[in-house]
Amino acid sequence: MKHLKSRSQDLRSLFENNITIEYVAEPLKAVSATDDVIEVLHWMQAQDFDVVGVESGDIISGYVERSSLMKAKAGKCSDYQRVFHPKELIAISTPLMKLLPILQQTPRLFVLDCNQVTGIVTCGDLQKAPARMLLFGLVTLLEMNLLRLVRLYYPQDSWQKVLKPERLQVAQRLWRESQERNEATDLLDYLQFCDKRELVLNQPELLQQLELKSKRSGERFLKSAEQLRNRLAHAQNLVTGSSWIDLISLAEAMERLLIRCEEIE
C-alpha cells in the first residue's frame, strides 16, 4: 500500500521543489569600483538604497553600505568596499522554505547565480506573493486540521454544548444562508477560526498531544496565527505591530504544530 504523505509534507515538497528564492529576490544594483564615493552616496540616498554592489570589470566583487559612506569625505567606492562573507551568500536555487530561518539570523542575503552575486534578498521581500502563498498555505492547513480535531473529539455534535451561544448562532446563521443558496454542507463547516481554537483548547488531552503549555499560551499562539491569516487575506503589511523575527518564529511554530496535528488520528 502506498504511503500517503501528510498535507504539511506536501506543502513543504511543493515549495522545496518549485518555489525558490529566485521568485522573491531583487537584482542587486551596482556601481563601479572607481566611482566617486560622495556621488554614489547621494545617489543611494535619492534611491533609498541601504546597500549596492561594487563592480570590478563585469563582476560584482563586493558591496558598500550607505551607513558607512555617510562618514566618507572623499575617495573611490573601492576604498570603502566590503568583501562578501560566506554567511551573507545564498544560492538562487535555495527553497523559499529554507530562507525563513536564515533570514531570522541575518536580515540581508546576497544571491549567488552561477557563482556570481546577482541579487539581494531581505526580510522585506517576504511581503511578496510567493512568500505570502507559503504563509497562507501553512495557516490554512492549520485551520483545516483544527476542524478535523473538532470532528474527532466532539462526536454527534457535542461541540454545540461547549461553544458560546452567540458563536453557535453565528455559525447557524451562515449555515442557513448557505442552505438558501443550496450550498450548505455541515454546520461544522461554518465555524470560524476562533471557534475551532476554542473547541480544541477545551480538550486537555489535545493540549497535551499538541504540546501546548497551557490553554492560555495556546490561545495566544493561535490568535497570532489567526491575525496573520487575516493580514494575508486582506493583503496587509505582515509585520504591523510585530517584527520579522516574530513573524518567522510564528511561521516555524505553525509548521511544528501542524505536524503534531496531523499525527493525531
The pLDDT of residue 178 is: 86
Question: What is this structure's pTM?
Answer: 0.83
Per-residue burial over 163-184, b = 16 or more CB atoms within 10 Å of its CB, e = otherwise: beeeebebbeebbeeeeeeeee
- Digit-by-digit pLDDT tens for the chain (265 residues) are 344 445 667 776 777 778 899 999 999 999 999 999 999 999 999 999 999 999 998 899 999 999 999 888 889 999 999 999 999 999 999 988 889 889 988 889 999 998 899 999 999 999 999 999 989 988 988 999 999 999 999 998 899 999 999 999 999 999 998 888 877 678 899 999 999 999 999 999 999 999 998 999 999 999 999 999 999 999 999 998 889 999 999 999 998 999 899 899 8
The pLDDT of residue 3 is: 41
At position 262, the amino acid (one-letter code) is E
Instruction: Give the three cell numbers for residue 148.
Output: 478535523
The pLDDT of residue 7 is: 62
Beta strands 82-83 and 51-56 are: unpaired
Instruction: Give the three cell numbers for residue 264.
Output: 493525531
CB-CB contact of 226 with 200 (8 Å):
no
Cβ atoms < 10 Å from Cβ of 244: 17
The pLDDT of residue 8 is: 65
Q: How far apart are CA 219 and CA 249, in angstroms?
A: 16
Cβ atoms < 10 Å from Cβ of 83: 9
